[in-house]
Every structure is written in structure tokens, then in C-alpha cells.
Amino acid sequence: MDTLNEYGNQQIHLYLLSIIDDVDKCCREHNIKYSLSGGTLLGAVRDKGYIPWDDDMDIMFDRRNYYKFLRAYKKYMSDDYKIVGKSWVKRITKKDNPDMDKELGCIDLFVFDPVPESRLAAKVKVLMLKFLQGMLKDNNDYSSFSPLYRVLLFVTWAVGRLFSKRTKLRWYSRLSKWSGFSDDYSFVNIYNTWFDQIGRLRFEKEVISGYTDVDFEGRRFMSISGYDRYLTVLYGDYMTPPEQKDRKPMHR
């Protein structure tokens, strides 16, 4: 664990491991398929554990298994755990987490949904989700945007004040599941993610059609069988670590 100490992440790594241990146990006992996601899955494949400088953990589901997990969580985990998330990204953490309000020490829960076959429908879906994200934000930081984007952000924020957060989140979920004007689709994407990432990538739906186990810090957790294609689309040459100057924790 010495490499973890180099970046000051050992404590958060152990805390997140205790959470994923219970999540994994719940999923296996109730036939719920999930997968390590993003940098967590990359770490499993490349390092057989955490990327040493990473300071969070992500998992992902298809929509059906996500709903199964939420039901199982309420019944079997809610005494000790809580799902938090002031926005469209939900996270699971322990009820004793002192940083819960900051949404630190949590495992992010991402969901795969269909990409409409029609390019126009796919673009409309992304634009509407971005508009909803603007409506859902409590506060906007305008400093990094052009004057035009500042106006657009203010307009979406102002429109958002007309509706309850519960209503807006319900719209977000329904739109995320929308497959366009046909139920036939070839690609999936994660739409409950950040503004600049929505619609940027897409994955063949076969990538999430099967599951396997991967090594992670001396444990075995679930992964999509198509992790190579997923990681290649996400990172390119994912087996080559970034330069030393780019190896920084993201949440500190």
C-alpha cells in the first residue's frame, strides 16, 4: 500500500473498499449485474486495484439492473447506507460518512441508456438533457463561460426555478431512457454524467451484454465483459499511464 501513501489516498481507498464490499455482496445475493466504471475499472485492468492517485470509485449498471439495485438497497442496505446526490448523479455512502454533504467518500452510480438511432433525435436528447442540467443547478459559476453561454446558463437556471427538483429529476430520468422514435438501437451511453461528457462518447450495446469478474485490491468485483472496448473508447491507449505531472487526485 506504499504507493497509496505517496498520494495521501490510503484512508479514502480503504473507506471506499468497505462500501464496495457491501454493494458487491448485495448485488451477488440478489442477482444484480453491475460493473466497475471509468477510472475504477481502468485501475482494475491495469493495476489490479486503485489507480494510486485516484481518490474516488465509480460503478455502472444498465437501466434494469440499476432499478433492481435501488430496490435491493432500500430493503437490505438502508440501515447503514444512504444514497445521496443533489443532482442527476446519485452516490451511495455510509450513514457515518462525515463528508456526506460534500458528496465525498461516496461511490458514484452511473447508468447506461440507449442512444437514439436517428442522429437528429440523439442530438435533441443531449440538448434537452443539458438544458435540464442547467435547470437543476442551484448555483452557476459563470467565470469560465463566454457571454453567450452565461446568458444561456442564466436562462436555464431561471426557468428551472419554476419547477420542483423532484419534477426536474423525473424528467431527466425519463429523457435519459428515451430511445428516440424507435425501440431499436445499436449504441448506449451514460447520460447521468457531467455537462461536457453527455453525448461525447457512445458504446456498442454488446459491450454491456455480458459480465465477468476482475481483480481489485485482492478482491473480485464485477465488470462488463467488453471492458477492453469500453476502456479504449473512453481512454484510447489505456494501458499506458499518464505523465507524472498529470497524476493528481481529482477531489482534493
Give the pLDDT of residue 92.
96
* 56 or 149: which leads in pLDDT: 56
Rounded-to-integer distance, Cα 57 and Cα 36, Å: 8
Helix axes 227-235, 38-47, angle to 10 degrees: 110
Q: Yes or no: is domain 2-112+209-246 CATH 3.30.460?
A: yes
Helix (H) or strand (E) holding 3: helix 2-6
DSSP secondary structure letter of residue 182? -
Mean pLDDT, to the nearest integer, of 227-234? Answer: 95
Check if the beta carbon of residue 52 is closer than 8 Å to that of residue 63.
no
Domain boundaries along the sequence of the chain = 2-112+209-246, 117-184
Helix axes 119-136, 165-177, angle to 10 degrees: 160
236 CB burial (10 A radius; 0-12, 13-18, 19+): exposed
Give the pLDDT of residue 252.
52
Q: How would residue 85 be classed by pLDDT, with cut points 50, 70 and 90? A: confident
Least confident of 60-74, 112-126, 181-195: 181-195
Nearby residues of 242 by Cβ (< 8 Å), 6 or more positions away: none
Q: What are phi and psi of 198, to 5 degrees?
A: -65, 125
3 pLDDT exceeds 50?
no
Note the pLDDT tens digit of each residue in 4-61.
Answer: 457 778 899 999 999 999 999 999 999 999 999 999 999 999 999 999 888 899 999 9
Partnered with residue 187 across adjacent β-strands are 115, 204
Helix axes 10-29, 63-76, angle to 10 degrees: 100
Rounded-to-integer distance, Cα 89 and Cα 191, Å: 9
Angle at 54 between CA 48 and CA 58, to 5 degrees: 75
Check if the beta carbon of residue 135 is closer than 8 Å to that of residue 171.
no
